[in-house]
């Protein structure tokens, strides 16, 4: 049972780690943010990551993600991967992939599987290898060990131990991992943004080495990439039959700061930019959204606002609501309840979206 240090309300959906309820975070942000920020900083310093994006006056500017870090000599960007040595930014270049990869049999538990060619009959025959889900084929899953966010609920936080490591796969190495049964490459993590140069180069090589066959390029991302890389990601996915799935973690900026340590305004702007590409290839869907239903912080009101934003762009944008499971710094919250998920689905549909899906249903708790 958590207790809000501001309004003193008690609930099992108030995180003792964050220290404040969602309402007080929204209404009294200037008052409560300094304490919440120290939690984020502590969680980063534990892994040797910078507490804040560097702003060195004489630093080298990284333009891959929305932080635009100005990195001092010998320092790293907020992601912990991009670093400056001898006045040059290193890490995340096309020949420097800090990642691991594996082949995942299709159809898999990808967030977009409810609409993508691997899990449906969408896009056949141009973008799908089968009139049914792609049984017998596989996905090359590429997990990048760096991120531009600092989500306290991160489900894959173990990658943080590897961010500063010397794991290296060139873009050519990754392209070579594509075999005759690989029908898609999915970049995730962490997040692809800090290593988008590597991902784009690997995708280009893989498609060049496998001409005239189905090889979709997909991205699961927090939406933090800057231009021109955002459009390059979109072009690669549009042409190949792949998709970009952006995790819209919250609607209210204050809630997003509390959960993820950063603003969501550039993410929403990027999503709006990508929505203009949707009409170029409606089937299979090019752009997807998802939201993790964090009890006490991401409720029906949050989901309704996100869904209204999406419906205003295009009501056919697929939207997946994901069950939360206690991890990392938010181990003190319960899993998402079935009723919570159902209420959020109803809110999203009432906001005008036509394709709303509840994912990770095996994680939902049955109590209401």
Q: What mean pLDDT, rounded, does the chain reach?
A: 95
Q: What is the DSSP code (8-state) at residue 55?
A: B
Pull the structure tokens for residue 256.
Answer: 């997003």
User: Rounded to 5 degrees, what are φ and ψ at 37?
Assistant: -60, -35
Look at 165 and 315; give whichever has higher pLDDT.
Answer: 315
The yes-or-no verdict on residue 168 having pLDDT over 90 is no
Percent over 90 (pLDDT), the chain: 89
Task: Label residue 166 by pLDDT band (50, 70, 90).
Answer: confident
Percent over 70 (pLDDT), the chain: 100
Asked if 160 and 43 count as a contact pair (C-beta separation under 8 A), the reply is no
Q: What is the 3-state secondary structure (H, E, C) of 140-152?
A: EEEEECCCCCCCC
How far apart are the C-alpha atoms of 137 and 132, rounded to whole Å? 12
Q: What is the pLDDT of residues 71-117, one digit of tens each?
A: 999 999 999 999 999 999 999 999 999 999 999 999 988 888 899 99
Which pLDDT score, from 0 to 100, does residue 341 have? 97
Task: Label residue 122 by pLDDT band (50, 70, 90).
Answer: confident
User: Rounded to 5 degrees, what are φ and ψ at 345?
Assistant: -60, -45
How far apart are the C-alpha atoms of 7 and 307, rounded to whole Å? 29
Which pLDDT score, from 0 to 100, does residue 123 have? 87
Mean pLDDT of 187-199: 97
How far apart are the C-alpha atoms of 300 and 343, rounded to whole Å? 6
Task: Label residue 306 by pLDDT band (50, 70, 90).
Answer: very high
Long-range interactions of 42-50: CB distance < 8 A, separation 24+: 43/150, 43/152, 43/328, 43/329, 44/150, 47/80, 47/160, 47/161, 47/163, 48/80, 48/164, 49/76, 49/78, 49/79, 49/80, 49/150, 49/160, 49/163, 50/75, 50/76, 50/77, 50/78, 50/80
The yes-or-no verdict on residue 323 having pLDDT over 90 is yes
Question: Which residues, 6+ apart, have CB-to-CB distance to 365 below 8 Å?
Answer: 334, 335, 336, 337, 338
| 294 φψ region: left (φ > 0), alpha (ψ -120 to 50), beta (else) | beta
- CATH class of residue range 99-363: alpha beta
Q: What is the pLDDT of residues 262-285, one digit of tens each?
A: 999 999 999 999 999 999 999 999
User: Taking the model in full, what pTM does it have?
Assistant: 0.95
The yes-or-no verdict on residue 368 having pLDDT over 70 is no
Which pLDDT score, from 0 to 100, does residue 109 have? 83
Which pLDDT score, from 0 to 100, does residue 325 have? 95
The yes-or-no verdict on residue 326 having pLDDT over 60 is yes
């Amino acid at each position: 049972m958590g207790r809000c240090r501001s309004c003193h309300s008690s609930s099992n959906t108030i995180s003792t780690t964050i220290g404040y309820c969602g309402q007080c975070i929204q209404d009294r942000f200037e008052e409560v943010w300094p304490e919440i920020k120290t939690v984020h900083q502590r969680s980063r310093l534990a892994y040797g990551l910078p507490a804040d994006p560097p702003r060195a006056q004489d630093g080298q500017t990284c333009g891959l993600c929305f932080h635009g870090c100005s990195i001092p000599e010998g320092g790293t960007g907020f992601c912990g991967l991009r670093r400056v040595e001898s006045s040059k930014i290193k890490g995340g270049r096309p020949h420097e992939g800090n990642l691991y990869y594996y082949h995942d049999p299709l159809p898999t538990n990808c967030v977009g599987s409810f609409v993508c060619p691997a899990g449906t009959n969408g896009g056949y025959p141009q973008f799908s290898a089968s009139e049914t889900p792609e049984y017998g084929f596989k996905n090359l899953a590429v997990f990048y060990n760096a991120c531009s966010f600092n989500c306290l609920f991160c489900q894959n936080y173990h990658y943080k131990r590897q961010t500063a490591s010397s794991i290296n796969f060139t873009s050519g190495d990754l392209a070579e991992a594509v075999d005759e049964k690989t029908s898609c490459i999915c970049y995730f993590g962490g997040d692809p943004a800090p290593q988008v140069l590597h991902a784009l180069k690997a995708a280009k090589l893989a498609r060049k080495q496998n001409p005239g066959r189905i090889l979709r390029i997909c991205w699961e991302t927090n939406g933090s990439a800057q231009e021109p890389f955002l459009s390059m990601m979109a072009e690669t996915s549009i042409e190949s039959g792949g998709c970009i799935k952006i995790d819209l973690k919250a609607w209210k900026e204050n809630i997003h700061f509390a959960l993820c340590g950063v603003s969501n305004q550039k993410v929403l702007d990027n999503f709006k930019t990508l929505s203009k590409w949707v009409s170029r290839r409606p089937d299979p869907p090019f752009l997807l959204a998802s939201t993790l239903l964090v009890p006490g912080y991401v409720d029906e009101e949050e989901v309704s606002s996100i869904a209204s934003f999406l419906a205003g762009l295009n009501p056919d944008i697929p939207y997946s609501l994901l069950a939360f499971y206690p991890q990392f710094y938010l181990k003190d919250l319960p899993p998402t309840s079935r009723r919570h998920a159902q209420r959020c689905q109803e809110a999203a549909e009432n906001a005008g979206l036509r394709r709303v899906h509840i994912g990770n249903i095996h994680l939902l708790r049955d109590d209401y």
